[in-house]
């Protein structure tokens, strides 16, 4: 049965997935991008950006398999871009990634503001869903055609799906970076230990990979 999964969701040592003051120049907030150092050092990510080299150990294994078996993605509006409120003059914005985003699947963006779908290069099409997270998930599963759906950031969107009991599995990457403030993934959630159990705990030289699965 297809699952809703979170993969390579990176957290600072103090539990933040992004710092404060997200902007066009700082998509992870001020100094927040440092929590992604582990990923940028891998062969998978360097290849994605047209660069040579990169690590090929534990971190690269998780990065390389993050999209295996994924037929559609769901991301929050903040992950799509720094635009707030109605689109209006910001309708030319098509995401952080340029003409060929890394998803290569249909991507569903829950939002309060309607916008036409945006087809991109490489098989990615952004669809904007105003009917809520449940409808976004229904449409994603339909588009995935039997494959899993990957749930991306930010923390607020993942929390919404967690509270709704819809997330089957979370792969978290725990770093040694401190952000001090920002977006906490488990803010206000006291039921995680009741709903999930740790199925995998794999340290690398730089981070620790943790996989949480829903208790049966």
User: In this predicted structure, what is the pLDDT of residue 41?
Assistant: 97
For helices 155-163 and 133-144, angle between their N-to-C axes, nearest 10 degrees: 90
Whole-number average pLDDT of the chain: 94
- Report d(CA 76, CA 93) in Å as an integer: 15
Q: What is the pLDDT of residues 114-140, one digit of tens each?
A: 999 999 999 999 999 999 999 999 999
End-to-end CA distance of the chain: 14
Count CB neighbours of 126 within 10 A.
21
Q: Which domains does the chain have, with CATH numbers?
A: 4-214 (3.40.430.10)
Neighbours of 132 (CB within 10 A): 13
Q: Which of 154, 157, 148, 165 has its CA nearest to residue 214? A: 165
Res. 90: pLDDT tops 80: no
Distance (Å, whole) CA 211 – CA 216: 15
What does R_g of the chain's alpha carbons equal in angstroms?
Answer: 17
Cα 167 to chain center, whole Å?
A: 13
pLDDT digits (tens, 9 = 90+) for 168-192: 999 999 999 999 999 999 998 888 9
Residue 31 has pLDDT above 90, yes or no: yes
């Amino acid at each position: 049965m297809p699952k809703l999964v979170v993969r390579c969701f990176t957290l600072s040592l103090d539990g933040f997935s992004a710092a404060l003051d997200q902007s066009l120049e700082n998509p992870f907030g001020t100094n927040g991008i440092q929590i992604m150092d582990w990923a940028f050092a891998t062969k998978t990510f360097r290849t994605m950006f047209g660069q040579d080299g990169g690590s090929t150990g534990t971190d690269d294994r998780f990065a390389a398999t993050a999209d295996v078996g994924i037929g559609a993605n769901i991301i929050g509006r903040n992950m799509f871009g720094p635009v707030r409120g109605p689109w209006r003059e910001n309708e030319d914005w098509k995401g952080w990634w340029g003409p060929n985003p890394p998803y290569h699947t249909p991507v569903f963006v829950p939002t309060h503001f309607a916008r036409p779908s945006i087809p991109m290069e490489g098989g990615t099409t952004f669809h904007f869903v105003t009917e809520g997270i449940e409808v976004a998930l229904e449409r994603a599963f339909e588009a995935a055609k039997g494959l899993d759906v990957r749930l991306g950031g930010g923390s607020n969107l993942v929390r919404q799906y967690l509270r709704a009991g819809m997330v089957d599995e979370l792969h978290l990457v725990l770093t040694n970076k401190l952000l001090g403030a920002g977006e906490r993934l488990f803010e206000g959630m006291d039921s995680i230990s009741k709903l999930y159990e740790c199925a995998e705990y794999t340290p690398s030289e730089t981070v620790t990979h943790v996989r949480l699965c829903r208790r049966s």
